Amino acid sequence: MGSRRKQRRLLEVAATDRTFEPRELDGEQVLEGKCIHCQRKLALRADGTPINGATLEHIVPKNHGGTDDLENLAIACARCNSEKGLRHDHKRPDDPKLREVIERLQERRSKRLRR
């Protein structure tokens, strides 16, 4: 995904995540919500530019067939995203720990879902 497309996708994910709300930050209108993993506050500019390291998290990793569909995407801070990648993405698809992480994130994503 190119960076323009990523920014647009971040905005689309934020729009479907109830933790994300419009807010003023240093005189600028931003969307602020929480990392899907650690709940740290993350903000996006109106054009989707991440202000403090928000990244697109693939709940089912791409190398396990995870898609770019909204239901498979969440917003995570860069650190959590790369930690999950390093720890789990290389595992076999039937690895119990990987399944557990994916199920936990899917549950959290669906609880936050705003339609």
In the complex, which residues of this chain contact Zn ion (CB under 5 A)?
35, 37-38, 40, 77, 80
Nearer to Zn ion, 7 or 55 (CB): 55
User: CB of 102: closest distance to Zn ion in angstroms?
Assistant: 17
Please report how the helices 78-88 and 96-112 are oriented relative to each other, as an axis angle in degrees rounded to 10.
Answer: 150
CB of 27 to Zn ion, least distance (A): 26
- CA dihedral (47, 48, 52, 53) in degrees, to 10, reads -140
- What minimum distance in Å lies between the beta carbon of 57 and Zn ion? 9
- For Zn ion, give the closer residue by CB, 29 or 52: 52
Structure tokens at 95: 């690895």
Hey, what's the torsion of the CAs at 55, 56, 62, 68, to 10 degrees?
-160
The smaller minimum CB distance to Zn ion, of residues 37 and 109, is found at 37
